[in-house]
Structure 1
């Protein structure tokens, strides 16, 4: 079975060290398989940090995510469905914060995270990193986790179509 290249993006309650993930979006670059969910903090006592400034950006109100979001356990099921076998999945993000929020999510679910996030900026060499930055600069960050995962995947695919090897 070939490796899956899954792009992941989170939206979060804030950007502080006490923040927590409130949505996750995943896009598998070759098959187009996707996963998305809103994550409720209701079952996690230590998830209390909330920024109304961040809410203005991601447009997810706290009462909405508390009521309509899924538990951390259900959110990690969405990730597992999109990624499949952790040994055959390359999970890719554009920010180290995504790795932080992935760990927070698994910790809240009481599970050990079997996935490692590769930072797309570190996967590309210097020249390709510049090309990637240019490709991403032409896209607007929507602050919707699934759409932003799609945008990142599309930018990387654009490099691939130009015969640029963006990862090892």
Structure 2
């Protein structure tokens, strides 16, 4: 199973009120991404929109009404793009926005989002290795606070962490004596 990084931009930060998704982006490789602007659904009419969020992601309500796609179309295209992938986000709030999108589209949510924190805990990588990987990815100069760019950043970080895990595993294999390898292979 392959991983897809996902990110949402929203109408406001959760501490400011009930927020809805306004953009979703995905990336597999950290080099390319695909994103969709989401036209506000009528069921979100009385939900919160803040100028702070607008300044952060640089998307106005006017632009969303003009260029955004209906939730049904975004949901269908996103479900097709996600296929059978393991979907990873940098924050669990993205799962809420995914569910909010599919609820408005009256479609079943096609995937569960896993948070990168879970992957990091399972990886066994030390915090200094994780921090160094993040620093290397940050130095690549990804744009931030747009869903496609944030998804690219996360996918690039996942790929870098995968490299670190593979290097660690190769190092462990080199450090293991041949008799231990034979014993392991025979179990």
> TM-score scaled to structure 1, two decimals?
0.83
Greater per-residue helix proportion? 2
- 1:32-43 alignment to 2 at 5 Å? 34-41=33-40, 43=41
Which residue pairs with 2:61 in the alignment? 62
Q: Is the 8 A contact 1:25 1:149 kept in 2?
A: yes
Q: Over aligned residue pairs, what C-alpha RMSD do you find? A: 2.3
Q: For 1:64 and 1:113, locate their aligned partners in 2 and report how far apart those are by CA, in whole Å.
A: 26
Q: Which has the larger radius of gyration?
A: 2
| Residues in 2 aligned to 1:71 and 1:107: alpha-carbon distance in whole angstroms | 13
Q: Distance in 2 between matches of 1:164 and 1:15?
A: 38
- Tell me how far apart the structure 2 counterparts of residues 112 and 129 of structure 1 sit (CA, whole Å): 38
Instruction: Give the alignment's TM-score, normalised by structure 2.
Output: 0.75
Aligned to 2:85: 89
Unaligned runs of 5+ in 1: none
Aligned residues: 158
| Deviation, structure 1 residue 129 | 6.9
Question: What does residue 119 of structure 2 align with?
Answer: 123
Identify unmatched segments of 5+ residues in structure 2. 169-187
**Do structure 1's residue 18 and structure 2's residue 18 form an aligned pair?**
yes
Q: Once superposed, which parts of structure 1, at least 4 consecutive aligned residues long, lie more than 6 Å away?
A: none
SS at match of 2:35: strand
